[in-house]
Chain A
Amino acid sequence: MATEELTLAILPRRVANEASEFERIMAAHERLVLGTAYRLLGRMEDAQDAAQEVFLRLFKNLGRVGDDPKPWLYRVTVNLCNDYYRRRTLVAEPDERRADPAPDPLSLLTMDERKRLLMEGLQTLARRERAAVVLRDVEGLSTRQVAEILGVEEVTVRSQVSVARVKLAKYVANYRKVRR
């Protein structure tokens, strides 16, 4: 009998239930974790690594996560992405999405183009500003929820989000100027 079959055969029912509960939570929140990690890190490969790590931590801490795992998942994702960002020594390589052909400079920005610019712009923000604006504007959380996840005051979140929005608007506007 293979080791895996043996393991499954003698797994206690509680562990098996936990495993299925974990898979259910992961399916429901995979997009939340991976999407947030991608906006924070700017590279899909890194985001996938971070998301895997988040879910592995969830698996280990399943009993300690409350009924609604979202706040826990956001908090761990943001913290892990901060660690990734700190460790990352290389300058961000061009992502597949950045390899699009250059848009027509005379046309208005398409949605895809704007999203691509915003992804780039997000990487120029300070870590805390990026986390705040991603949670507030991309994930659509309230200021209070963002403050709880980041462990800061609401007024701090408001300030960080405002600064981030201004910086992003300027980043896109600068791109327009360069194009012309």
Chain B
Amino acid sequence: MTCQECELALAREESSGAVNEHLSACAACRAQAEEMQANSQALRAFATDELPSVRAGVMAEIHAARRMRWDWALAAAAILVVVFAASRMWRIWNTPVPELPPVRIAVAPPEVPIPVEKTRPRRQAPVQHAEPLMVKMLTSDPDVVIYWLIETKEGTE
């Protein structure tokens, strides 16, 4: 086995009698085998290295993207409302006013006396004629007596 073949076998982690035989006789390949072995351990040890976290950065990016999406959605909604309102206004302004049919003046019908229903006169309570009020006035002369008759007029009390 040549050194090159041994190197390839070591790289493929192949272990055979031929490889072991070569290694026992070749110091250079033995050193390389040790190097590869140590490298393999060091590569595996990378897994225990301390690493910073990227979670906060990722979440910040996601929140920023969401905010932007909402901002765009709100802006789009606002634009839609404005466009809709504008189109409605435009339609209203540009709608032609329909021509009204000519006004026809009808001939007034002859005057017909409207029968007026006579209202019945209010029945008034009968006036009760009161007795005339008589005032008797005595004078100093016993033979002279004055009588004053007071009559109420109709409709007054």
Interface presence of A165 (CB below 8 A): yes
- Confirm or deny: B35 has a beta carbon within 8 angstroms of a beta carbon on chain A: yes
B38 at the interface (CB under 8 A from A): yes
Contact indicator B55/A162 (Cβ below 8 Å): no
Q: Nearest 3 pairs between A and B by C-beta?
A: A162-B11, A137-B43, A165-B11
B-side contacts of A118, CB under 8 Å: 39, 42-43, 46
Interface of chain B residues 73 through 114 with chain A (CB within 8 A): none
Within 8 A of A (CB), among B57-71: 57-59, 61-63, 66-67, 70-71
Pairwise interchain contact A48-B54, C-beta atoms closer than 8 A: yes
Q: List the B residue with the shortest CB-CB distance to A121.
A: B39
**Contact present for A44 and B43 (CB under 8 Å):** no
CA distance A4 to B69 in the complex (A): 11
B42: A residues at CB distance < 8 A? 111, 114-115, 118
- A27 near B36 with CB under 8 A, answer no
Q: Which chain B residues border A90 with CB–CB below 8 Å?
A: none
19 extra A-B contacts, CB within 8 A, seeds A31-B51, A165-B10: A3-B71, A6-B70, A7-B70, A26-B58, A35-B51, A48-B54, A56-B58, A59-B62, A111-B41, A114-B39, A115-B46, A137-B44, A138-B43, A158-B12, A162-B8, A166-B11, A168-B39, A169-B11, A169-B39
B119 smallest CB distance to A (angstroms)? 73
A65 within 8 A of B: no
Within the assembled complex, what's the spacing in Å between the Cα atoms of A83 and B40?
Answer: 27
Q: A30-B54, A165-B11, A166-B7 are in contact. Are A114 and B38 (CB under 8 A)?
A: yes
Within the complex, which residue of B32, B46, B70 is in contact with A35, where a contact is CB–CB below 8 Å?
A: B46
Most buried by A among B47, B51, B67, B71: B51
Minimal Cβ-Cβ distance residue in A for B53? A30
- CB-based contact A162/B71 at 8 Å: no
Contact assessment for B12 and A162 in the assembled complex, using a CB-CB cutoff below 8 Å: yes
B144 within 8 Å of A by Cβ?
A: no
Interface size on B, residues (CB 8 A): 35
Instruction: Tell me if A140 and B54 are in contact (CB < 8 A).
Output: no
Residues of A bordering B, CB below 8 Å: 3-4, 6-7, 19, 23, 26-27, 30-31, 33-35, 38-39, 44, 48, 51-52, 55-56, 59, 109, 111, 114-115, 118, 133, 137-140, 158, 161-163, 165-166, 168-169, 172-173
A52 B54 Cβ-Cβ under 8 A: yes
Closest to B41 in A: A111
B127 touches A (CB below 8 Å) = no
Q: List 13 A-B contacts (CB under 8 A).
A: A23-B55, A30-B54, A33-B54, A34-B54, A56-B61, A114-B39, A118-B43, A137-B40, A158-B12, A161-B11, A165-B10, A165-B11, A172-B35
Q: Is B49 in the interface zone, CB < 8 Å from A?
A: yes
B45–A56 CB distance below 8 A: no
Task: Tell whether A4 pairs with B38 under 8 Å between CB atoms, given A35-B46, A173-B32.
Answer: no
A residues near B58, Cβ cutoff 8 Å: 26, 52, 55-56, 59
Partner of A23, one of B45, B59, B61: B59
